[in-house]
Chain A
Amino acid sequence: MFDRLTFRHGVHPPELKQLTADKRTRRLPFPTEVVLPLSQHTGKPAKSIVRVGMRVERGDLIADSDGWVSSPIHASASGTVTEIGLAPHPDGTFKTAITIAVEPFSAQLPRPRLVPDWRGLDKKGLLEAVRHAGVVGLGGAAFPTHVKLSPPPDKPIELILVNGCECEPYLTTDHRTMAEYPERVHLGIRIMMKVLGVSQTVIGVERNKPDAIEALERTRPSDLDVTVLPLTVKYPQGAEKMLIEAVTGREVPSGKLPLDVGVVVQNAASVGTIAEVFETGLPLVERIVTVTGLGVRRPANLIVPVGTRLRYLLEACGGMTDDAREIVFGGPMMGAAQANLDTPLTKGTTGVIVLAEREVKEQASYPCIRCGHCLDACPVFLNPQQLGKLAAAGRYDEMAAEYHLNDCMLCGCCSYVCPSNIPLSQQFAAARVALRQRKPAA
Chain B
Amino acid sequence: MTGSRYLVTASPHLRSRDATPRIMWTVVASLVPVLAVAVAYFGPSALLVTAASLLGAVLTERILGKPGTLRDGSGVITGLLLGLCLPAGIPLWMAFLGGVVSIGFGKLMFGGLGQNVFNPALFGRAFLQAAFPVALTTWPAIKAVSWWSLRGDNFALPLMSAQVDAVTTATPLGLMKFEHVSTRVTDLAFGSTAGSLGETAAVVIFICGGYLALKNYLNWRIPASIFLTVAVFAGILHVINPDRFASAQFMLLSGGLMLGAVYMATDLVTSPVTNRGAWIFGAGIGLLVVLIRVWGGLAEGVMYAILIMNALVPFINRATQPRVFGTATPAAKTS
Number of chain B residues whose Cβ lies closer than 8 Å to a Cβ of chain A: 46
In the complex, whether B158 has a CB less than 8 A from a CB of chain A is no
In the complex, whether A418 has a CB less than 8 A from a CB of chain B is yes
A367 adjacent to B113 (CB under 8 Å): yes
Known pairs A254-B327, A367-B114, A372-B274; A339 contacts B12 (CB<8 A): no
Q: Which residue of B lies closest to A417 (CB)?
A: B16
Stretch at the interface among A145-153, A271-279, A420-428: A420-428
A370 adjacent to B273 (CB under 8 Å): yes
Q: Within the complex, what minimum Cβ distance (angstroms) separates A439 from chain B?
A: 22
Q: Which residue of B lies closest to A353 (CB)?
A: B13
Pick from B22, B325, B326, B329: contact of A419, CB under 8 Å:
B22
Residues of chain A with a CB closer than 8 A to B270's CB: 370
Pick from B115, B324, B326: contact of A256, CB under 8 Å:
B326
Q: Which residue of A lies closest to B272 (CB)?
A: A372
Number of chain A residues whose Cβ lies closer than 8 Å to a Cβ of chain B: 67
Residues of chain B with a CB closer than 8 A to A251's CB: 325-326
Pick from A241, A252, A373: contact of B216, CB under 8 Å:
A373
Q: How far is the CA of A383 from the CA of B324 in the complex (A)?
A: 9
Known pairs A341-B1, A370-B268, A372-B273; A333 contacts B12 (CB<8 A): yes
Stretch at the interface among A32-40, A59-67, A323-331: A323-331
Q: How far is the CA of A417 from the CA of B268 in the complex (A)?
A: 15
Q: How far is the CA of A417 from the CA of B275 in the complex (A)?
A: 16
Task: Give per-residue flags for B1-26: 1 if the beta carbon is below 8 A from chain A beta carbons, else 0.
Answer: 10001111111111110111111000
Among A414-442, those with CB < 8 Å from B are 415-421, 423, 425-426, 429-430
In the complex, whether B244 has a CB less than 8 A from a CB of chain A is no
Known pairs A11-B16, A333-B12; A382 contacts B6 (CB<8 A): no
Residues of chain A with a CB closer than 8 A to B22's CB: 419
Q: How far is the CA of A327 from the CA of B12 in the complex (A)?
A: 13
In the complex, whether B168 has a CB less than 8 A from a CB of chain A is no
Q: Within the complex, what minimum Cβ distance (angstroms) separates B99 from chain A?
A: 20
Pick from B8, B20, B272, B324: contact of A337, CB under 8 Å:
B8
Chain A CB within 10 Å — which of B74, B325, B331, B332 has the most? B325
Q: Within the complex, what minimum Cβ distance (angstroms) separates A338 from chain B?
A: 7
In the complex, whether B119 has a CB less than 8 A from a CB of chain A is no
The DSSP consensus for interface residues of chain A is loop
Chain A CB within 10 Å — which of B9, B326, B327 has the most? B326
Q: Within the complex, what minimum Cβ distance (angstroms) separates A178 from chain B?
A: 24
A416 adjacent to B114 (CB under 8 Å): no
Pick from A253, A379, A426: contact of B327, CB under 8 Å:
A253
B331 adjacent to A403 (CB under 8 Å): yes
Pick from B5, B74, B275: contact of A372, CB under 8 Å:
B275
Q: Within the complex, what minimum Cβ distance (angstroms) separates B151 from chain A?
A: 35
Q: Within the complex, what minimum Cβ distance (angstroms) separates B219 from chain A?
A: 7
Stretch at the interface among A20-28, A78-86, A358-366: A358-366
B322 adjacent to A334 (CB under 8 Å): no
How many contacts between A and B, using CB within 8 angstroms? 176
In the complex, whether B72 has a CB less than 8 A from a CB of chain A is yes
Residues of chain A with a CB closer than 8 A to B323's CB: 381
B114 adjacent to A370 (CB under 8 Å): yes
Q: Which residue of A lies closest to B115 (CB)?
A: A367
B332 adjacent to A334 (CB under 8 Å): no
A326 adjacent to B326 (CB under 8 Å): no
Among B283-335, those with CB < 8 Å from A are 321-327, 329, 331-333
B333 adjacent to A402 (CB under 8 Å): yes
Q: How far is the CA of A82 from the CA of B120 in the complex (A)?
A: 69
In the complex, whether B112 has a CB less than 8 A from a CB of chain A is yes
Q: Within the complex, what minimum Cβ distance (angstroms) separates B320 from chain A?
A: 10
Residues of chain B with a CB closer than 8 A to A11's CB: 16
B18 adjacent to A360 (CB under 8 Å): no
Q: Which residue of B lies closest to A328 (CB)?
A: B13
A334 adjacent to B325 (CB under 8 Å): no
Q: Which residue of A lies closest to B323 (CB)?
A: A381
In the complex, whether B269 has a CB less than 8 A from a CB of chain A is yes
Known pairs A253-B327, A369-B268, A403-B331; A339 contacts B8 (CB<8 A): yes
A412 adjacent to B325 (CB under 8 Å): no
Residues of chain A with a CB closer than 8 A to B333's CB: 402-403
B325 adjacent to A333 (CB under 8 Å): no
Q: How far is the CA of A365 from the CA of B30 in the complex (A)?
A: 24
Known pairs A337-B13, A372-B274, A417-B18; A326 contacts B7 (CB<8 A): yes
Residues of chain A with a CB closer than 8 A to B23's CB: 369, 371, 419
In the complex, whether A368 has a CB less than 8 A from a CB of chain B is yes
Q: How far is the CA of A419 from the CA of B114 in the complex (A)?
A: 12
A333 adjacent to B14 (CB under 8 Å): yes
8 contacts between A and B (CB under 8 A): A355-B14, A360-B7, A369-B268, A371-B268, A372-B272, A373-B18, A403-B332, A404-B327
Q: Which residues of A are interface residues toward B (Cβ below 8 A)?
A: 11, 13-14, 92, 169, 241, 251-256, 324-328, 332-341, 355, 359-360, 363, 366-373, 375-376, 378-383, 385-386, 402-404, 407, 410, 412, 415-421, 423, 425-426, 429-430
| Top 4 closest pairs, chain A to chain B, by CB | A412-B12, A372-B273, A380-B325, A367-B114
Contacts A366-B113, A380-B325, A416-B15 known; 10 new A-B pairs at CB < 8 A: A11-B16, A13-B14, A253-B326, A254-B327, A332-B11, A369-B114, A376-B275, A386-B332, A419-B16, A420-B19
